[in-house]
């Protein structure tokens, strides 16, 4: 791993690198950590883990990572060095009441410099990597590793965590189908993704959802209800609606809870809703935390190690 020192204008080998995970957790984080540590060890580079994201970056909470500390972690979910999605290093609270904030980027970089850190590898989503950009601009050599189940970052297709989130969503939806069939239900499955519909689209399509609601396309609730009735009238015992957490109804200013709207509108005027209420029940299921479960071990190890060569 070579670096170019912007401050001195010379090239040299990195001997110590800080590694951090920040933002929400997702599948594959431990695989990335292990890949970085194992690859670095082959080049005699020491890896220092920063605990709990930017909180540990500012508060100087470090831990040494070696081959022993990452043994078999790719089979575990989450991240062994912790994470946080609340702290911002250039707007950090400096008192217990969180009244006064300061830019802590420069002193945090200097603290790492004092222990010999030459660069950083920061694993995170758009917010995390935006802060990583600020760190880079302050002179610390930084590599950003894009991770998010939302798959909403440019120049990375797919992002780490997305593939497994889709697989988990598909499995969850398929399990919901058994109850839906048994009780002749309309099952609304709410999925994560923020303002990006990738996870809902891929997961819903792969699981065979009858209706998919995305944040990119506003939906007409009356049209959805009509479609549900059409499907049920066609002889199917159940309907699966995959709805993004940010799906928005036409005419509404904000995103809403589609499952709750469905229940409320079952008694609304119009034959379609009344018949729907008489013929089927509506039940909502939120699978957001299931989607973030761990991936199959080793999926990202080979890709990441190859990239770091």
Instruction: Please identify every residue annotated as catalytic.
Output: 150
Q: Find, among 38, 57, 44, the residue nearest to 1 by Cα.
A: 44
Report how far residue 175's alpha carbon sits from residue 302's, in angstroms, rounded to the nearest whole number.
31
Task: Return the HEC string of 218-273.
Answer: CECHHHHHHHHHHHHHCCCCCEEEEEECCCCECCCCCCCCHHHHHHHHCCCCCHHH
The single-letter DSSP state of residue 159 is P
Report how far residue 158's alpha carbon sits from residue 218's, in angstroms, rounded to the nearest whole number.
25
The Cα-based distances of 223 to 103, 200, 213, 217, 260 in angstroms read 50, 19, 12, 13, 16
Q: Residue 278 phi/psi, 5° resolution? A: -75, -35
Within 10 Å of residue 54's Cβ, how many Cβ atoms? 30
């Amino acid at each position: 791993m070579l670096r170019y020192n912007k401050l001195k204008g010379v090239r040299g080998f990195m001997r110590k690198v800080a590694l951090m995970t920040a933002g929400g957790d997702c599948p594959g984080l431990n695989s990335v950590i292990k890949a970085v540590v194992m690859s670095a060890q082959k080049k005699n580079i020491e890896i220092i883990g920063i605990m709990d994201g930017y909180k540990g970056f500012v508060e100087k909470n470090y831990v040494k990572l070696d081959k022993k500390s990452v043994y078999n972690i790719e089979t575990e979910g989450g991240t062994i060095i912790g994470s946080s999605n609340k702290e911002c290093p250039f707007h950090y609270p400096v008192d217990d009441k969180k009244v006064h904030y300061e830019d802590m980027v420069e002193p945090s970089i200097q603290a790492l410099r004092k222990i010999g850190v030459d660069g950083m590898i920061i694993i995170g989503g758009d917010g995390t990597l935006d802060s990583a950009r600020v760190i880079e601009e302050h002179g610390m050599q930084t590599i950003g590793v894009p991770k998010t189940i939302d798959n909403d970052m440019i120049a990375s297709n797919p992002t780490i965590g997305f593939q497994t989130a889709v697989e988990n969503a598909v499995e969850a939806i398929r399990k919901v189908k058994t109850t839906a069939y048994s009780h002749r239900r309309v099952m609304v499955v709410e999925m994560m993704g923020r303002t990006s519909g990738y996870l809902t689209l891929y997961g819903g399509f792969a699981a065979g959802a009858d209706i998919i609601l995305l944040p990119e396309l506003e939906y007409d609730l009356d049209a959805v209800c009509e479609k549900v009735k059409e499907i049920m009238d066609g002889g199917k015992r159940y309907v699966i609606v995959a709805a993004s957490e940010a799906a928005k109804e036409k005419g509404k200013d904000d995103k809403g809870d589609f499952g709750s709207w469905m229940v409320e509108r079952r008694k609304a005027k119009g034959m379609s809703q009344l018949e729907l209420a008489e013929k089927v029940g509506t039940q909502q299921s939120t699978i957001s935390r299931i989607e973030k479960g761990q991936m199959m071990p080793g999926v990202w190890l080979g890709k990441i190690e190859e990239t770091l060569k």
